[in-house]
Structure formats: structure tokens, C-alpha cells
A and B are shown apart, each in its own frame.
Chain A
Amino acid sequence: MNKYAISVINVSKKYNHTCALDNVSFNLAKGSCLGLVGPNGAGKTTLVDSITGIINIDSGGIFVLEEEMNLHSISIKNRMGILPQELSLLDYLKCNEYLSFVAQLYKVDKQQIDNRINSLLRVFGLYQKKDKLLCEFSVGMRKKVAFIATILHLPEIVILDEPFESVDPLSVVIMRKIIIRLLQKNTSILITSHNLDMIEKLCNEVAIIKDGKIIYNSDTKDIHSKIKNELTKETYNSLEEIFIDMTKQEQDGDVIPSWL
């Protein structure tokens, strides 16, 4: 039996001669959490969209739960929960209507729908607002609703594209707790985020993507043993240090304009 929940093998994707993904390969083990980080435009969302089947890849293969993933893989999608970066909310449904609609699409047991929705809304402090239209919600609240919709059917694989963006610190803590609970239930999770500290705390594995290539992929616990300077044998203190070191060449972040 395959121990990987997601296997990405030599995946490439081009947009009008721009290489968004260049021979990307990595695995996500069952019951583990992989953090995918990278600068803006590195190809994180393209990779997530490829894994979720939203876009077709040019070459390579993506296997999810031992099946090749494509847009028509209904059985796999039923076992996945996806939070896309571009939130797929139906703005003119009320919060509870939207969540019920999503639950119906995932064929969640009818008796459990209300219970699940209400309990999660209470946790995120949205219960009082469940009868409001989603278009009236703030960006952070919409993110929370989309997160609830992602985990409502207790998926085996959860893919979260920038889940902590625009969300208040309290809700981030709640999200983290929920993710930890899901991991305890042997759920496999893939997270993309710019919150490196959170990725380091939450994930067992981390991958850095830059210009469509995976430039670093290792266990989180190995971060502190990675050698920074061969001469002094100095090691990295955090993921942030590795990230800055590996991605700084293009961004001249050290030089701040003199007029500022």
C-alpha cells in the first residue's frame, strides 16, 4: 500500500512561454503536513491548482490517494478538502445556506449537516452572522467561511492555499488547533503560506519553491541542523533564515532607497 497521500512527479506547466512549474517533484506522506513556501509568483498557486485538478499540467503526473488526479476524479475530490486562494464563495447565499450547499455537494449525512455547520461557526465566532449574505462579510470572515467549507466533510487530504491571510490572530490559533486535530486523525495536509513561523510550527515537512522549481525540501526538524556556513559550521536558526537565504538573490532587500 502506498504511503503517500500526494505524489507529484516531474510536473511542468507553461503559460504562454512562461514556465510556471519546471519539473516539480515531491511527496506528501499520509497523515503528515507539508508547508509549501515561496516568493510571490513562484508557482505555489499553480502547483496547488494542478494538484486539485483545476488546471491541466503539460507533463508529469500527479497521484492523489493512489489515483491519477485530473479534473474528473470525482472519487478523489470527495476525499479532498480544498481552500483555493481565489475563494469560491457564492456571494448571494447566506453563510449557513452556502455551507449547507457545499455539504450537499460533498453528500454529507443530512442529520449531521446542521450540527457540523453550527459547531464550526460557533468556534469561529460566526454563529450570530450565519443569516447574513456572504457578500456582506469582511475578507477575513469570508476566509473563515471558506475554511469551514473545506473541512466540513472530514476529508482525508486538505489543501490550504494561504489559509491565514487576512484572518485575525484568534482565528489563526483556532485554525491551527483544527489542523492539529485533523493531523491526529491521520489527515494529510498541504499548506501554502507566507507565515513562515506558522509553517515551521505546524508542518512536519517544508518545501521552498522558486521560479517553478522546488529548491528546498526537507523535514521541519532538520531545519536547525542545516549548515549555513561551511567554514564556521554555523547552522540555520529558523525557516525564515533559510527562505531569505535561498530567495534573496532576485530581491535586493538589503538596499533601501536613500531618500526613504
Chain B
Amino acid sequence: MKILISQIKLILKQKYRAFLYLIKYRNDALYIISLFILIILLLSNLLSSISILNSPVMSILFGGNHNRRLLISTTISTIITTIWLLLSTIVGINLTQNLNKKFFLRFPINTFNFAILNLSTQLFDIGLLIVAPFFFFLLYILNIDSIINVIYSLVIFLMFLCILICTVNVIKSLNYYLCLFISFFLTFVNFVIIYFLINGLMINLISEYTTKYFSLYPPLIFIRIIDNIHFGNYTVAFEECAILLIEFCLIFIIYLFTLRSISKNITNDNRLLNLSRSLLHKFSFNKQPMLKLLSFTRQEEAFIIKDIFYIIRNHRIKTWFLLILISVYLISNLQIDNLLKHIITISITFIILLPLACNYFAFDNKGLLLYFITPISLKNVLTNKNKSIVIICLLISIPIIIWDLVINSFSLYFVLITIPILVYQLYCIIIIGSAISLYFPYKVDYEKIMGQFNPVLSQPYIFVSFMLSQGILALFIYIFSQNKLILLLSIFSLSFISFIIYSLLLKHYFINIFLRRKTIIIKEITKNEIILYE
């Protein structure tokens, strides 16, 4: 019993520490998703407030109960519960990743006690301790006087608890990205529960939705969102957003399950295994038919092929790819000029691909040492890495750009303007990627975490620098957009300037920095091991 208590104390301490170091424990994907959710929730509440204050239109969300106090409480509760669930997810992930189970199993604790230990620590989750007072405060400000409502609320509270325990347990047993999805999904479920709670569990949501939203085709929903925002029906627009969100969640879960089933099949089924082998064989080190055409040296070829293999096996990049597709899809639905839409698509694609270039050295991990002991010129390491980044970015972006060209109006002018923009973006990605990976060789990824401060510094640097580059592009478009020919020439000149800046100035500067900082880079990389490919 004493051991059990001491273990509980230990885990609680760890959870408390995890909570305190929340910023350090964050993962960029989780960070983006949590921000995304919070922004949506805040925006929805803001839009609802404006809608209610400006017009006496009945809304589904608030059932005609135009009460400012209710609005504030909704906002508070949604934010708090969102943070709670995300926090629990982070704590769960960290416990799985950082808590050494073998350490506990060395002690004379039987498995049953270990399970109880886990459950008890989950019940005393630090997130729960924070949320519980807020929850009861919420009940107080909602003036729930009926005993039945209080019971309902308690039941919902217990549901929260179950969700939390399930989340943490599921996280411990499943794929990391599935966990992120679950956190995302549960946040939404949580919002729905709050919605029921605020409306006194009386609104027949299903009938409303079946009559109102017969068609769930995403582009139609998107158009309806734009329409509703245009006509000031902000709450309806928010509801439509929620549906769109669910649809994307479903797509995401289908994607994840497909991924899992494929990987499962590949390991068990010989036919699929052979198929994947034969496909990869086309890219094998001995053949390299595609790269031969581009006449790279053997070492460059080896670098590029190695990086392609790394990219293929990186789950995070697959998620980025999905993110690009979603973004491109959303942009394609915007009611703006086709050319602008096309340029934004390319920019967004490269913004999402940017972390790839910023992790030049972090991807190689301890393998970076190989370049220092093998007969490869260190001057070429950086340029070879840049070449492979360019090839990988082209491989990912060209199909997206072609798709975008096809769904938008395809013309020679569009193709002509795409080329310099692509070149410009590639140079931007190389310059920013080189700078970040030289000064923050390991730190851009938020995977391994304790004592790392530089990610916080480097993240704004990435976005500021990239936004600056995009700003220059936007400025060019703005200034020269009056005449199509001048615009085309100006963007060509922009890409040419970026080429000159990189090849005449920055390339040699970066190589010198690399040679100067090599020891620091090796030290950074070898002391921090990252797990990118679970």
C-alpha cells in the first residue's frame, strides 16, 4: 500500500510538472489544432453575441434565450473544457512517452495494482482539479435551481470524467495522430454537451438538422457559410462551420484508419509487401532513373534518395499533406479572383512545407555525424540538403499546383506566372530553412522538450521571416497588378532577385556559418534525440 501511495505521489508530481511545463510539452500539431479550436470557439461566441445584440433573430444555439450572462458563461465553459481536454491529452501523451513503465514494473507491484494506480492518478488529474470548481461555478451562474437539472449536470460532469479517462487510456494504446484527432473530436463533443446543458436538454437537435441540412456536400456548406456571414446570420454560419468541421474530422479518421489498415496489411500480407517493395525498388539506390536525368553526382543522388525515404516514412509530413489539401480545398471555395486564389494556394502549400526545410539536421538526428566522418565535403552537405528539399517540395507541390490549375481556369498566363512564384517560394524556403536549421539545429520540433527554450524563439522567427517573404510577393502583386504583363515580368524579376541573393550572397554565408557552427550543431543534435516517425 505504501508503495502504491508513493507511486501515486510520484505520478501526480510528474503530472503537475507536465502541467507547469505545458508550453514546453506542446507539439506543434497539437498547438495548431488547439489554437484552431479555441479560435473557432471564441469566434463563434463573438459572432453569436454580435448576432444576438444586433437582431432579434432566434438562433438554434441559444434557443432565443438572449442572455448576456449565458453568453459569457458559454464562452468561459467552452474555453475551459477545451483546455481541460487538451491538457489531459498532453498529459496523457507525455505520460506515455516520458513515464518509463519499466521503471515501475521493476518494483514489486502486481499488474492489477498498476492498473488501479493508473486509474487513480487519472481521477486525480490536475486538469480535473482545475475544471471542477469552474464547472460548479458555471452551475451557480446559470441559476440551476431545479434538482433534476442539477442531477443532469452531475451526470454530464461524470460523462466528462469518463471521456477524460477514456482519452488518456486510448492515447496510451493508439497512434499519436489518432490521439490528436480524438482530442479534437472530444472537444467538439464537449461543446455539444455544453450546448445541451445550456439549452436545458430540451432542443431536438436531430430534427432541426435533418430538415435544415439535407445536403451535406462540403462546397455547398461553404457557400452557405459565406452567404450567412454576408447576410449577418452569424450563428447559423457557425453551425454550418461545425458541420464542415465534422465532415473534415470524418475524412481525417477515415484517412487514419486507412493508413493503419494499410500498414497492418503491408506487414502481414505478402502481396502488398511485394507491391510496396517493387514500387520502392524504382526509387532504389542502384537505379535512380529519375535522378539520372537531372545529372546529380552519386553523393547528391544518395542524399536525395535518403531524404525521400525519410519523407515517405514521416507521419508528420503525411499530416502536413492532408493539411495542404484541406487548405487548398478551402481556398478554392473562396469568392476571390482566380489568379489571387492560385497564388494563395502556392503560398499556403509552401508555408505548410516550411518546417520540412527548417529541420534539415534534426531529421538526420545522430546520423548527422556521418557527414563529418565520411568523405563528403562539408561545403556540399548544406547544398545537397537544399537540393533534396527542393526536389521533395517540388514532388509535393507540383501535383497540388496542377490540381489547382485544373480546377481554376487553366491558361498559359497562369502557368507562366506559376513558374516564377514557384522559384521564388523555393528560394524562400531554402533561405529560411538554412538559416533556421543552422541557428536552431534541433530546436524547431517540439518533440523532446525539457529545457528547450529555443523553439519558442524560433517559431515566431520562422513565421515572421516567411510572412515577410510572402509580404514582398503580395507587395509586388499589389503594385503591379494593373497590368498582367507587367505583373508577370515583375514576379519573374522577383524570383530572379531571390536567385541572385541566394547564389551570390547567402549560399556562401550559410556554408561559412555551417563550418563555424559545426561543433555546436553536432552537440545539439546528438544530445537531443527526437521521435518523428512513431
Do the beta carbons of B526 and A91 come within 8 Å of each other? no
Do the beta carbons of B369 and A86 come within 8 Å of each other? yes
Residues in B with CB closer than 8 Å to A133 are 313
Shortest distance from the beta carbon of B521 to any chain A beta carbon, whole Å = 12
Partner of B370, one of A100, A105, A113: A105
Do the beta carbons of A97 and B285 come within 8 Å of each other? yes
Residues 18-76 (chain A) with a chain B CB within 8 angstroms: 52-56, 71-72, 74-75
The residue on B at minimum CB distance from A111 is: B286
Residues in A with CB closer than 8 Å to B298 are 104, 107
Residues in A with CB closer than 8 Å to B374 are 77, 102, 105-106
A82 at the interface (CB under 8 A from B): yes
Do the beta carbons of A101 and B366 come within 8 Å of each other? no
Residues 494-533 (chain B) with a chain A CB within 8 angstroms: 515, 518-519, 522, 526, 532-533
B302 at the interface (CB under 8 A from A): yes
Partner of B309, one of A74, A82, A92: A92
Complex CA gap A55/B523 in Å reads 11
Complex CA gap A131/B526 in Å reads 25
Residues in A with CB closer than 8 Å to B310 are 90, 92-93
Complex CA gap A91/B370 in Å reads 12
Complex CA gap A86/B314 in Å reads 23
The residue on A at minimum CB distance from B311 is: A92
The residue on A at minimum CB distance from B530 is: A91
Complex CA gap A135/B369 in Å reads 16
Do the beta carbons of B375 and A110 come within 8 Å of each other? no
A223 at the interface (CB under 8 A from B): no
Shortest distance from the beta carbon of B145 to any chain A beta carbon, whole Å = 59
B372 at the interface (CB under 8 A from A): yes
The residue on A at minimum CB distance from B299 is: A105
Query: What is the interface residue range for chain B against chain A?
Result: 20 to 34
Do the beta carbons of A91 and B367 come within 8 Å of each other? yes
Complex CA gap A74/B376 in Å reads 6
Do the beta carbons of A89 and B286 come within 8 Å of each other? no
Shortest distance from the beta carbon of B524 to any chain A beta carbon, whole Å = 13
Residues in B with CB closer than 8 Å to A131 are 277
Residues in A with CB closer than 8 Å to B522 are 54
The residue on B at minimum CB distance from A76 is: B375
B239 at the interface (CB under 8 A from A): no
Partner of A97, one of B301, B309, B375: B309
Do the beta carbons of B372 and A110 come within 8 Å of each other? no
The residue on A at minimum CB distance from B373 is: A82
A247 at the interface (CB under 8 A from B): no
A84 at the interface (CB under 8 A from B): yes
Complex CA gap A82/B364 in Å reads 18
Residues in A with CB closer than 8 Å to B301 are 104
Residues in B with CB closer than 8 Å to A82 are 373
The residue on A at minimum CB distance from B522 is: A54
Residues 27-84 (chain B) with a chain A CB within 8 angstroms: none
Shortest distance from the beta carbon of A136 to any chain B beta carbon, whole Å = 11
Residues in B with CB closer than 8 Å to A56 are 519
Residues in B with CB closer than 8 Å to A52 are 372-373
Complex CA gap A143/B515 in Å reads 28
The residue on A at minimum CB distance from B300 is: A104
Query: What is the interface residue range for chain A against chain B?
Result: 35 or more
Partner of B377, one of A54, A72, A92, A106: A72
Residues in B with CB closer than 8 Å to A84 are 369, 373
Shortest distance from the beta carbon of A48 to any chain B beta carbon, whole Å = 10
Scan B409-441; emit 1 where CB is below 8 A from any A CB, else 0.
Answer: 000000000000000000000000000000000
Given contacts A72-B378, A100-B286, contact A93 B369 (CB under 8 A): no
Shortest distance from the beta carbon of A83 to any chain B beta carbon, whole Å = 9
B306 at the interface (CB under 8 A from A): yes
Do the beta carbons of B375 and A93 come within 8 Å of each other? no
Do the beta carbons of B313 and A104 come within 8 Å of each other? no
Residues in A with CB closer than 8 Å to B277 are 131
Given contacts A97-B309, A113-B286, contact A88 B373 (CB under 8 A): yes
Residues in B with CB closer than 8 Å to A113 are 285-286
The interface centre, meaning the residue of A53, A97, A101, A113 with most chain B CB atoms within 10 A of its CB, is: A101
Shortest distance from the beta carbon of B368 to any chain A beta carbon, whole Å = 7
Shortest distance from the beta carbon of B374 to any chain A beta carbon, whole Å = 4
Shortest distance from the beta carbon of A216 to any chain B beta carbon, whole Å = 28
A174 at the interface (CB under 8 A from B): no
Complex CA gap A52/B374 in Å reads 10
Residues in B with CB closer than 8 Å to A89 are 366-367
A78 at the interface (CB under 8 A from B): yes
Shortest distance from the beta carbon of B429 to any chain A beta carbon, whole Å = 22
Given contacts A54-B373, A82-B373, A104-B302, contact A71 B378 (CB under 8 A): yes
User: Mind listing 16 A-B residue pairs with CB under 8 Å?
Assistant: A53-B372, A54-B373, A56-B519, A72-B378, A74-B375, A74-B376, A77-B375, A88-B373, A90-B367, A91-B533, A92-B310, A93-B306, A93-B310, A104-B285, A105-B375, A110-B286
What would 18 more interface pairs be, CB under 8 Å, given A105-B370, A105-B374? A54-B369, A55-B519, A71-B515, A72-B378, A74-B376, A86-B366, A86-B369, A88-B366, A88-B370, A90-B310, A90-B364, A91-B367, A101-B306, A102-B374, A105-B302, A105-B375, A105-B376, A113-B286
**Closest A-B pairs by Cβ, 8 of them:** A90-B367, A104-B302, A88-B369, A78-B375, A77-B375, A100-B285, A88-B370, A105-B374
